[in-house]
Amino acid sequence: MVRGIRPAILGRTIANVRKCRCRCKPLQILPTFSRLSRLSKGQSIVDVRRFAKRIVLEYSSGDYCVIEPRMTGLMLLADPPDVEHLRIEWNLSVDDEQTSLWFWDRRGLGTITLWHRDEFETTFYNGRFGTDALAMSVDEWSERCATTSREIKVAMLDQTFIAGIGNLYASEILHVAKIHPQTPANRLSRQRIIRLQQATLDVLHLAIRYEGSTLEDGTYRNALNQSGQFQNQHRVYARAGEKCPTCERSIIQRIVQAQRSTFFCRRCQALR
């Protein structure tokens, strides 16, 4: 989502932030919508980045607007799936040209939080999250894994352990790394941690290249409301019962770990 919206909004000035008319469950906006609106107006967007499954807009004032789309939210420049679930519009201007950035959310599970720079750095950025998955070194992976006997797949979804790996990607990464999802994190050898780190980079970079995935309910869209293309690249996710594309011998299994589905191949990812 970030890659799709960045070129259109970077450097632009926010003319207005508007709450759309939506009769569904309201979004959580912190501290309040009126403060968000007041402190956004007149600011330019100096940076747009992805962090821990959130979109971070950095304002010229030093405030940070953090949007967490969660399960059903989208950041869009055009063509929302429907207009009833549009939630917030950032009206942006450059010279006399107008653009809108929209937050669309069918179920209203998303959140928008405005942080001051100091709070953002001390509370949000450093306190609540692990290192971003794309920045985590092999040594950091080793240190983290040594501290927990939780199953590796479960640990990977904990945003304080590592930030930015969603459920789908955790299955894909473990498959590429040839690691059984139920392996206790502290039992992983150095060699397997090296594979895990590399697989994380490979899978997430591929996903970014294909701009995310469109799940069966069609929720995920890129910034222009086109389906993401990563689903065509899934090796195991949502492929239970199909032949494993890696070994072409075993059948992909589905198990549930911490209430989330995991997909893997028993042959490629043997439990050691």
Residues that bind Zn ion (CB under 5 A): 244, 246-247, 250, 265, 267-268
Is residue 12 within 8 A of residue 98, CB to CB? The reply is no
What distance lies between CA 49 and its chain's CA centroid?
11
Q: Which is nearer to Zn ion, 50 or 267 (CB)?
A: 267
CB of 242 to Zn ion, least distance (A): 11
Is residue 89 within 8 A of residue 101, CB to CB? The reply is yes
CB of 267 to Zn ion, least distance (A): 5
Residues 6+ apart with CB under 8 A from 33: 19
CB of 203 to Zn ion, least distance (A): 16
Q: At what angle do helices 190-209 and 167-177 cross, to 10 degrees?
A: 130
Q: How far apart are CA 160 and CA 89, in angstroms?
A: 31
Q: Is 143 exposed, middle or buried (0-12, 13-18, 19+ CB in 10 A)?
A: exposed
Q: Which is nearer to Zn ion, 223 or 244 (CB)?
A: 244
Q: Which is nearer to Zn ion, 101 or 174 (CB)?
A: 174
Q: Which is nearer to Zn ion, 217 or 248 (CB)?
A: 248
Is residue 244 within 8 A of residue 236, CB to CB? The reply is yes
Q: Which is nearer to Zn ion, 75 or 268 (CB)?
A: 268
CB of 176 to Zn ion, least distance (A): 11
CB of 235 to Zn ion, least distance (A): 9
